[in-house]
């Protein structure tokens, strides 16, 4: 993809400037005549920038919280030994100014927007290497198809879509694996997929001897019954938990009343293991159709904010408004959010691998900020945003540090 298909803003750049007598000299020093004019045409805030050569080939793609400062440094050229603290020192900085002929850029006014804009641009311009340059790590997901011939839980960084259901996101691979283990222990599911695949000719493992698996691998439990148990585990993972709690509690009390204390203790252990689902690492866990948020971030200057609508994991930026306009804008934002949710209701995840990867990466980005103790801006679950008045008040509280002084947009 060409730069002009991604960026709307571009500035011609040349390290050559005129001398007083009309001649030309190569100037790569940050204070060189002409370069200051170029940098002043950039916005005062942050953004994503691309440096290209005379044939529009990529020299450098990056992002910065201060575009002017970043480019002043990038285009300053290698330091010379003259004036260096150590005699004979040689700079390893590449002389980008000698090859750069265009500066492409797009503004970003918050860290969330900066990460989002850079991800989009990098994905289009550098499809083979962009993942290595992202400022956020991958989240993890758990996939299971309860209706499969051999239903199994699998852990991965990318959503898999139908058939089956994807659960997540999880902060780390270990968290996703612990969630699977929690379900296997709580519902006495098979722990060894390679043995289960041999059903009904598999060999029982030690979990059967401990009374913690019904051995579907050797046919002791019909595969149809095992699939039903996996479906119960999936329903539990999706939030249908009250019936499981009450069933285990009732069975535990009944066993204790019959003085079947070993059975009661085993049921109590299962109940306690399943309570692990309430761990903070699993607080975002659910199907992707419930991964819905209204994200509000600061805009340019100090009195503007910008909404982002996250529906089913997909991020859509909205129009920025002044803080004074938020009470009116909040109603429109809620209407859009509700409309998007209604439109997406019942939609399945994409079927193509690249579309699933693209959706997964957007979930990674949002999860990166949700995992922080105090994420910048405002992140609100869609089902918790009910009234425009309450939304406007939440925005006012969150951005109360911003002054009422208007600052011009770049």
pLDDT digits (tens, 9 = 90+) for 108-145: 999 999 999 999 999 999 999 999 999 999 999 999 99
CB 391 within 8 A of CB 333: yes
Q: What pLDDT score was predicted for residue 366?
A: 98
Q: What percent of the chain has pLDDT over 70?
A: 87
52 strand-pairing partners? 58, 102
Q: What is the pLDDT of residue 211?
A: 79
pTM, two decimals, is 0.86
Residues of the chain with pLDDT under 50: 17-33, 80-91, 402-410
Whether omega for the bond prior to residue 310 falls within 30 degrees of 0, making it cis, is no
- From residue 135, alpha-carbon distances to 19, 22, 63, 247 in Å are 42, 46, 10, 45
Q: For residue 355, what pLDDT is reported?
A: 94
Contact 241, 277 (CB under 8 A): yes
* Six token digits for residue 228: 């039903």
Domain boundaries, the chain: 3-85+92-108, 140-282, 288-398
Residue listed under structure tokens 């990038």? 74
> What pLDDT does residue 98 have?
86
- Region of 189 please: left (phi>0), alpha (psi -120 to 50) or beta: beta
State CA 295 to chain mean position distance.
13
Residue appearing with tokens 């991958």: 138
Are 179 and 403 within 8 A, CB to CB? no
Closest to 164 in 3D by CA, of 149, 181, 180: 149
DSSP-derived letter for residue 285 is -
Q: What integer pLDDT is reported at residue 33 of this predicted model?
A: 37
- The confidence score (pLDDT) of residue 78 equals 61
pLDDT at residue 407, as a whole number: 35
Q: Give, in order, the Cα–Cα distances in Å from 89 to each of 92, 98, 234, 315.
A: 10, 21, 63, 47
């Amino acid at each position: 993809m060409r730069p002009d298909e991604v960026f709307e803003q571009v500035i011609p750049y040349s390290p050559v400037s005129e001398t007083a007598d009309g001649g030309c000299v190569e100037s790569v020093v940050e204070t060189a005549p002409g370069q200051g004019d170029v940098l002043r045409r950039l916005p005062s805030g942050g953004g994503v920038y691309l440096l290209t050569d005379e044939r529009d080939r990529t020299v450098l793609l990056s992002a910065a919280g201060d575009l002017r400062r970043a480019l002043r440094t990038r285009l300053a050229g290698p330091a010379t030994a003259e004036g260096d603290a150590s005699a004979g020192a040689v700079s390893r900085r590449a002389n980008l100014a000698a090859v750069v002929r265009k500066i492409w850029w797009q503004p970003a006014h918050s860290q969330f927007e900066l990460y989002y804009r850079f991800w989009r641009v990098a994905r289009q311009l550098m499809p083979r290497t962009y993942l290595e340059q992202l400022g956020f790590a991958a989240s993890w997901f758990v996939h299971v198809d309860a209706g499969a011939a051999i239903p199994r839980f699998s852990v991965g960084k990318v959503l898999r879509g139908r058939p089956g259901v994807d659960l997540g996101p999880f902060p780390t691979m270990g968290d996703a694996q612990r969630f699977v283990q929690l379900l296997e222990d709580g519902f006495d599911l098979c722990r060894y997929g390679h043995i289960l695949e041999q059903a009904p000719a598999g060999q029982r493992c030690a979990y059967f001897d401990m009374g913690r698996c019904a051995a579907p691998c050797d046919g002791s439990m019909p595969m149809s019954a095992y699939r039903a148990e996996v479906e119960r585990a999936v329903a539990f993972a999706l939030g249908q938990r009250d019936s499981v709690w009450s069933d285990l509690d009732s069975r535990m009390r009944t066993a204790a009343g019959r003085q079947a204390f070993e059975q009661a203790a085993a049921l109590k252990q299962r109940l306690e293991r399943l309570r692990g689902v309430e761990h903070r690492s699993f607080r975002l866990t659910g199907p992707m159709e419930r991964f819905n948020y209204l994200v509000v971030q600061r805009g340019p200057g100090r009195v503007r904010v910008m909404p982002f609508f996250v529906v089913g994991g997909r991020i859509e930026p909205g129009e920025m408004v002044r803080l004074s306009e938020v009470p009116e804008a909040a109603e429109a934002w809620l209407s859009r959010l509700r409309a998007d949710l209604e439109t997406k209701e019942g939609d399945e995840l994409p079927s193509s691998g690249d579309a699933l990867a693209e959706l997964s990466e957007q979930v990674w980005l949002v999860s990166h900020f949700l995992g922080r103790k105090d994420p910048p801006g405002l992140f609100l679950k869609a089902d918790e945003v009910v009234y425009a008045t309450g939304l406007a008040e939440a925005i006012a509280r969150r951005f109360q540090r911003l002054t009422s002084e208007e600052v011009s947009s770049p």
